[in-house]
Chain A
Amino acid sequence: MMSATFVQLVIISLEIGSVYVLFSLGLTLIFGIMKVVNFAHGQFFAVSAILVTILVPFLAAHGLPVLPAYFLATATTVAVTVMIGWGVYQFGLVRFLRDMEGAFILTLGLAMLSDGLMLSIFGGAPRPEPVIVPGTVRIFAVAVLAQHVVVFGAAVCITGALYWSMTATRLGKALRAIASDHEAAMLQGIPYRRLSRDGFLIATALAAIAGALMAPISEVTPAVGNDYLMNGFMAVVVGGLGSVPGAILGAMFIAVIEAVGGYYVGPSAATMAIFVMVIVVLLIRPRGLLGRA
């Protein structure tokens, strides 16, 4: 019995952790490159989730089977979201590179604006979620929603792909160089501004993919992005702002506290425990678990 609970908690931690990882990757990428926190990151997630809930039934009504409909909807949604992200960068953020306060005000303002816009366009009621991969699967005799398995698999793949491209591609190395020292990077001929934009658009795409993946299991409302932003942000801070492995570690750290704490002492206390543990970590390692001094 004890071990069944243990298995269950491990699985739940992985489920929750993979969601936070998906959300955190973009945040940490943006911080690494631009040295700003994007408080509108959750809005990209929300826009994407909402669009998927609209497009999937629409495409299904036009005769597409559910999986192709979902893939097409996700591709469209990511494209639309990245276009919005381009606008945000080109007409806003480009003026606030490495300006923590300026970017804070800008992105928070944008988050509010988009909150209000989405509310008036889509309404505040939770949107019916498309069923993409229905039912449950059994893992070590524990029932898990199939969509959670999909999210977990996607999180592993996306994280792996991101990790690979950051270490093995020219763009990835240039982005890491910018994160390490943007002036030195420019002195090697790396176009800082253009690559900042590219990095921001990659981060936006990650948020959009996360939104599309979570649409079938999360609540889909204009406000949902903000809820994820808080835990995603804490994951990034605990892991070390700007660090991709840090974001993964931070996300798992928070997920384990939420799962184990939530089960043994209750959800409200678990939320408090997350805050307390984040503070403890930051007292011991002010730059996060994998942050650089």
Chain B
Amino acid sequence: MTGDDIPLQVDGICASYQGVPAIDNVSLRLRRGSITTVIGANGAGKSTVIKCICGLVPTDRGKVRLFGQDVTGMPPDELVRRGLSVVPEGRRLFSDMTLRENLELGAYTRSDATAVARDLERVLTLFPDLRDRMSTMVNRFSGGQQQMVAVARAMMSAPRVMLLDEPTIGLAPVIVERIGNLIGEISRSGVTVLFVEQNAEIALEIADDAYILESGKVIAEDTAANLAQTDEVKKAYLGV
């Protein structure tokens, strides 16, 4: 298969924090236009997978390929230029800057002002309650709104692949629902999505493909629908 069919491919990456292994031989393949999720318990290494892909944590071994090209160890800003966008864990908004500034920074790599303005309009259509608060400092927003801003900011770079790190953590169920819809919406617009999630229920509901990570290792991979049917997953992750 070509890089066009698999926009993001992770081959056997390993990473460790100060000698303690965090993830071990993790491989992922994202099909173009699909939604892929990595589920796992707290501490399973989900966030490390995201950070390794986007270059915030160095990999000890393995390869990351973006659109067929080896991008292992490349700094995040270079990956953004190549079409990757990340909604980091904990949102990581520029808290003492306005909503407008946050969204503008999301489009930092783009020089086509018309296209950026069009995307801003599109984003604000998706998040209508943000429209009137463009000059508000983002630290004034509620947790749910901040998560929306983080997603909106990530959309502003017009990515072809978007990674989301625990997008629903700590949010009220109604907001979780909204995030779920949002991920579907982003995917339908042609963006390949990977998100890691503790909330297996919502993750398996939205995703096309799923991986289960335990103690840094992938222990199962299949379509989300299939995985949701297995007894182990039902027992360990869906609490059925």
Could you list which residues of chain A lie within 8 angstroms of chain B, going by C-beta atoms?
A: 170, 173-174, 176-177, 180-181, 183-193, 292
Contacts and interface: CB of A to CB of B under 8 A. Distances in A.
A170 B113 CA distance: 13
Max count, chain A CB within 10 A of own CB: residue among B76, B88, B109 = B76
B101 A187 contact: no
A188 B157 contact: yes
Interface of B: 54-56, 75-77, 80-81, 85-86, 88, 92-97, 101, 104-106, 108-109, 153, 157
B97 A191 contact: no
Contacts of B75: 186, 191-193
B159 to A, nearest CB: 10
Contacts of A180: 94-97
Contacts of A177: 94, 97, 105
| Chain A contact residues: helix, strand, loop or mixed | helix
A193 B74 CA distance: 13
Contacts of B101: 173, 176
A275 to B, nearest CB: 29
Nearest to B81: A189
A176 B92 contact: no
B77 A191 contact: yes
Nearest to A183: B56
Closest 6 CB pairs of A and B: A189-B80, A189-B109, A184-B92, A186-B76, A180-B94, A187-B86
A164 to B, nearest CB: 14
22 contacts: A173-B101, A174-B105, A176-B97, A176-B101, A180-B94, A180-B97, A181-B92, A186-B55, A186-B75, A186-B76, A186-B77, A187-B86, A187-B88, A188-B77, A188-B108, A188-B153, A188-B157, A189-B80, A191-B75, A192-B75, A192-B77, A292-B95
B92 A189 contact: no
B96 A187 contact: no
Contacts of A176: 94, 96-97, 101
A186 B92 CA distance: 11
B81 A173 contact: no
Contact of A190 (B85, B86, B93, B108): B108
A188 B75 CA distance: 11
Contacts of A170: 108
A70 B105 CA distance: 40
Max count, chain B CB within 10 A of own CB: residue among A174, A176, A180 = A180
Nearest to A184: B92
Given A185-B105, A186-B55, A192-B75, 4 more contacts: A186-B75, A188-B109, A188-B153, A191-B75
Contact of B108 (A181, A189, A193): A189
B77 A173 contact: no
Contacts of B104: 173
B105 A190 contact: yes
Given A183-B56, A186-B75, A187-B76, A173 B97 contact: yes
B141 to A, nearest CB: 15
B76 A292 contact: no
Given A174-B105, A176-B97, A187 B92 contact: yes
Contacts of A174: 105, 108
Nearest to B87: A187
Contacts of B109: 188-189
B107 to A, nearest CB: 8
Contact of B94 (A184, A191, A193): A184
Nearest to A170: B108
A187 B54 contact: yes
Contacts of A190: 77, 105, 108
Contacts of A188: 77, 80, 105-106, 108-109, 153, 157
B100 to A, nearest CB: 10
Nearest to B106: A188
Contacts of B56: 183, 186-187
Nearest to A167: B101
A190 B156 CA distance: 13
A13 to B, nearest CB: 28
B152 to A, nearest CB: 12
A180 B97 CA distance: 9
B157 to A, nearest CB: 6
A185 B86 CA distance: 11
B155 to A, nearest CB: 12
A97 to B, nearest CB: 12
A185 B92 CA distance: 9
Nearest to B91: A184
Max count, chain A CB within 10 A of own CB: residue among B97, B104, B108, B109 = B108
